[in-house]
A and B are shown apart, each in its own frame.
Chain A
Amino acid sequence: DTAVSQTPKYLVTQMGNDKSIKCEQNLGHDTMYWYKQDSKKFLKIMFSYNNKELIINETVPNRFSPKSPDKAHLNLHINSLELGDSAVYFCASSREGYITDTQYFGPGTRLTVL
């Protein structure tokens, strides 16, 4: 069983479209995250949710909206896609979000905006 799964694995779309990426974890964790890895391979946190509540919202355009229907899911909606949104998006989860908690990452979703 995959611990953290994401769908789709690849997403190619046109500028201006709205798209969603889904994330599910079956580890029973309380905290989930979205990270973005750009073309230069820098990994940066976007959002963090703990028990369905938003904890961290880094400087991310409000076109990006995370939605957590339950503790096992954290979906990422992106409106009005721009070329600069092209990147690999990783979902992750951890038990609580404490300093010693391991984060488990999904396989990533490669988003290409044309």
Chain B
Amino acid sequence: DAKTTQPNSMESNEEEPVHLPCNHSTISGTDYIHWYRQLPSQGPEYVIHGLTSNVNNRMASLAIAEDRKSSTLILHRATLRDAAVYYCILHSGAGSYQLTFGKGTKLSVIP
């Protein structure tokens, strides 16, 4: 799976939007972009995924650059419960079942 680059940490104020960036300049045409997050002392949980078009769900939005070399996870109103490590993962699916986790971005939410 191709590599992703994320900032080590970010801070946000509660109730404000958060934009979590991810660079993936070596992405291939068949790579899906997945986001998972891991709350403290819990297992990772799915957030969102996309291929080319922007995606929205009840948790977040995913904005994908036109050249697909970067993407941004958007949390529209950060809550204290959103404090977690967010992982941006490229999933090639070429016979590949597993997710390859990087270091992720640790998001802190300030009350």
Known contacts: A99-B91, A99-B92, A99-B93. The answer to whether A107 contacts B100 by CB under 8 A is: no
Known contacts: A41-B85, A90-B44, A108-B43. The answer to whether A100 contacts B49 by CB under 8 A is: yes
The answer to whether A107 and B43 have CB atoms under 8 Å apart is yes
Taking the complex as formed, is A43 at the interface, i.e. its CB lies under 8 A from any CB of chain B?
yes
Residues of B within 8 A of A94 (CB): 97
Shortest distance from the beta carbon of A39 to any chain B beta carbon, whole Å: 14
Query: Chain A, interface size: which category?
Result: 20 to 34
The answer to whether B43 and A44 have CB atoms under 8 Å apart is no
Q: How far is the CA of A27 from the CA of B85 in the complex (A)?
A: 25
Interface string of A68-107 (1 = CB under 8 A from B): 0000000000000000000000101010011110111111
Taking the complex as formed, is A48 at the interface, i.e. its CB lies under 8 A from any CB of chain B?
yes
Residues of A within 8 A of B98 (CB): 33, 45, 48, 56, 58
Q: Helix, strand, loop or mixed for chain A's interface?
A: strand
The answer to whether A44 and B101 have CB atoms under 8 Å apart is yes
Taking the complex as formed, is B69 at the interface, i.e. its CB lies under 8 A from any CB of chain A?
no
Interface string of B47-62 (1 = CB under 8 A from A): 0010000000000000
Shortest distance from the beta carbon of B46 to any chain A beta carbon, whole Å: 4
Shortest distance from the beta carbon of B94 to any chain A beta carbon, whole Å: 9
Whose C-beta in chain B lies nearest to the C-beta of A94?
B97
Residues of A within 8 A of B43 (CB): 4, 90, 92, 105-108
Q: List residues 29-78 of chain B with CB under 8 A from any CB of chain A.
A: 30, 32, 36, 38, 41-46, 49
Q: How far is the CA of A33 from the CA of B36 in the complex (A)?
A: 16
Shortest distance from the beta carbon of B67 to any chain A beta carbon, whole Å: 20
Known contacts: A43-B44, A90-B44, A107-B43. The answer to whether A99 contacts B101 by CB under 8 A is: no
The answer to whether B42 and A103 have CB atoms under 8 Å apart is no
26 A-B pairs (CB sep. < 8 Å): A31-B97, A33-B97, A41-B103, A42-B101, A42-B103, A43-B38, A43-B87, A43-B101, A44-B101, A48-B97, A58-B98, A90-B44, A92-B43, A92-B44, A98-B93, A99-B30, A99-B32, A99-B91, A99-B93, A102-B46, A103-B44, A103-B99, A104-B45, A106-B43, A108-B41, A108-B43
